[in-house]
């Protein structure tokens, strides 16, 4: 069934082993972030085979589906108060920054008769989630007063809203804050969580502050790309995930529409490059399923012209292949394309079995 995403278990496992192997000499555990592939259970299992210590996701619905794997599940998005019951049921650890939520979580954990672990997020400049450094002490004291919630770590998230790059300064500060918190609570913290795929370059250049012992990694596992500078890590694959879509029309047509140009399907006034007469293919996928700008045809002589909700238009004039209606075209994808492809129920996902 098309369209579909084919996932290479071998390439995915190689990417994972590479990242886990880079982190290991530093005493850093890698938690695999599953949100970009909507916590597809078989893909999560490949990442576990590759050596990740636990699974992390922003959405509790996703963590719920990973329960049968029996591994530690970390909730990434600071939870809604309205979902705390689900959080204590389906996540062993969660990231937190609000006392009101922590208190509601404590009640929910007591009601269920479980202990729930939390990582306090500290905002070191990126301005997404987290308490400010000067609020850490009072917040930690308040968490320590809770009965069923245990503070097990502190963490930071960078390069998400503000684009701030992790470095020796901000992650060094996280390390110092961790040392202060450990002194305050009188026990070591299990996790000093130093960010996402944008922190990996610090492992490559040997500049990761020693106190950091956990990273939460998504993009580099699936696309082999570190995200501070956008470099592909040596020995990883950027094509472990391939989109396949089917040609439903193939005709020679003009490249500039005929008639008065108004708005397109998305309320924008389109502009067209005049390529003269072209051989143009329509493939059966659209903006409902994918971020078209995030796709790259494997046939490098194909250009993507654009898409409506469910038709993607391609210029195949220059291609060396003689395509026909019914042929399948293949594409590499970026993070935003992958996110949308996995979220679309109209796109099949197929894992090549482990060799």
Ligand X SMILES: *Cc1c(COP(=O)(O)O)cnc(C)c1O
Dihedral pair phi/psi, residue 116, rounded to 5°: -120, 135
Shortest separation between residue 147's beta carbon and ligand X, angstroms? 26
User: Applying CB under 6 A, which of residues 8, 9, 34, 58 lies at the interface with ligand X?
Assistant: 58
Q: Which of 153, 175, 194, 218 binds ligand X (CB under 6 A)?
A: 218
Among 217, 228, 292, 337, the residue binding ligand X under the rule CB under 6 A is 217
Q: What's the min distance (Å) between Cβ of 14 and ligand X?
A: 17
Q: Which residue is nearest to ligand X (CB)?
A: 218
- The site map against ligand X for 148-187 (x = CB under 6 A) is ---------x------------------------------
286 binds ligand X (CB under 6 A): no
Catalytic residue chosen out of the listed positions 35, 117, 211, 332: 35
Indicate whether 219 belongs to the interface with ligand X (CB under 6 A): yes
Are the C-beta atoms of 12 and 351 separated by less than 8 Å? no
CB of 128 to ligand X, least distance (A): 8
Distances in whole angstroms, Cα of residue 290 to Cα of each of 7, 238, 340: 16, 17, 5
Q: Quick one: which of 15, 94, 227, 236 contacts ligand X (CB under 6 A)?
A: 227
Q: Bridge-partner residues for 93, per DSSP?
A: 74, 117
Q: Give the one residue of 33, 104, 164, 305 binding ligand X; rule: CB under 6 A.
A: 33
Asked if residue 196 binds ligand X (CB under 6 A), the reply is yes
Report how far apart, in Å, the C-alpha atoms of 73 and of each of 25, 58, 91, 213, 272 are.
24, 11, 5, 17, 48
Select from 313, 309, 278 the least CA-distant residue to 297. 313
The residues, any chain, with a CB within 8 Å of residue 38's CB and separated by 6 or more, are 62, 342, 343
Q: Which run of H or E residues covers position 307?
A: strand 303-307
User: Smallest distance from the beta carbon of 16 to ligand X, in angstroms?
Assistant: 13
197 binds ligand X (CB under 6 A): yes
Which DSSP helix (H) or strand (E) runs through 309? none
d(CA 225, CA 293): 18
Nearer to ligand X, 139 or 197 (CB): 197
User: Nearest to residue 253, comparing CAs of 231, 232, 280?
Assistant: 280
| Residue nearer to ligand X on the CB measure, 155 or 297 | 155
CB of 221 closer than 8 Å to CB of 19 = yes
Is 35 a catalytic site residue? Answer: yes
The answer to the question of residue 38 lying near ligand X (CB under 6 A) is: no
Is there a contact between 8 and 240 (Cβ–Cβ < 8 Å)? yes
- From 186, 212, 48, 236, select the one nearest 122 (Cα to Cα): 212
214 sits near ligand X (criterion: CB under 6 A): no
Q: Which is nearer to ligand X, 15 or 319 (CB)?
A: 15
Confirm or reject binding of residue 15 to ligand X (CB under 6 A): no
Query: Which residue stretch of 106-114, 213-221, 303-311, 315-323 sits at the interface with ligand X (rule: CB under 6 A)?
Result: 213-221
Give ∠ CA 163-166-169 in degrees, rounded to 5: 125
Among 22, 76, 208, 329, binds ligand X (CB under 6 A): 76
Q: Which residues bind ligand X (CB under 6 A)?
A: 33, 35, 58, 76, 157, 196-197, 216-219, 227
Active site residues: 35
């Amino acid at each position: 069934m098309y369209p579909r995403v084919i996932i290479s278990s071998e390439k995915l496992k190689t990417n994972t082993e590479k990242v886990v192997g880079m982190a290991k000499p530093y005493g850093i555990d890698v938690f695999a972030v599953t949100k970009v592939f909507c916590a597809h259970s078989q893909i999560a299992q490949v990442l576990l085979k590759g050596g990740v210590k636990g699974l992390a996701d922003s959405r509790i619905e996703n963590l719920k589906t990973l329960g049968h794997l029996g591994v530690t599940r970390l909730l990434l998005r600071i939870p809604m108060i309205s979902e705390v019951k689900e959080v204590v049921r389906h996540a062993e650890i969660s990231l937190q920054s609000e006392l009101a939520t922590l208190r509601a979580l404590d009640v929910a954990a007591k009601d269920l008769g479980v202990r729930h672990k939390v990582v306090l997020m500290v905002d070191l400049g990126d301005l997404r989630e987290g308490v400010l450094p000067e609020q850490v002490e009072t917040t930690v004291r308040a968490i320590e007063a809770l009965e069923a919630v245990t503070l097990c770590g502190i963490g930071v998230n960078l390069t998400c809203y503000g684009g701030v790059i992790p470095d020796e300064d901000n992650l060094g500060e996280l390390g110092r804050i961790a040392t202060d918190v450990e002194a305050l609570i009188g026990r070591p913290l299990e996790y000093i969580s130093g960010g996402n795929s944008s922190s990996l370059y610090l492992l490559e250049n040997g500049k990761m502050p020693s106190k950091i012992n956990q990273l939460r990694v998504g993009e580099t596992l699936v696309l082999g790309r570190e995200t501070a500078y956008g470099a592909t890590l040596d020995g990883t694959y950027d094509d472990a995930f391939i989109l396949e879509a089917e040609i439903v029309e193939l005709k020679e047509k003009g490249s500039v529409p005929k008639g008065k140009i108004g708005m397109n399907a998305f309320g924008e006034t389109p502009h067209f490059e005049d390529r003269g007469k072209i051989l143009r293919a329509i493939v059966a996928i659209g903006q409902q399923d994918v971020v078209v700008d995030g796709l790259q045809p494997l046939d490098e002589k194909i250009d993507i012209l654009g898409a409506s909700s469910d038709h993607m238009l391609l210029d195949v004039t220059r291609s060396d292949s003689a395509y026909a209606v019914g042929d399948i075209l293949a594409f590499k994808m970026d993070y935003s394309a992958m996110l949308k492809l996995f979220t679309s129920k109209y796109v099949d996902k197929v894992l090549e079995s482990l060799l």
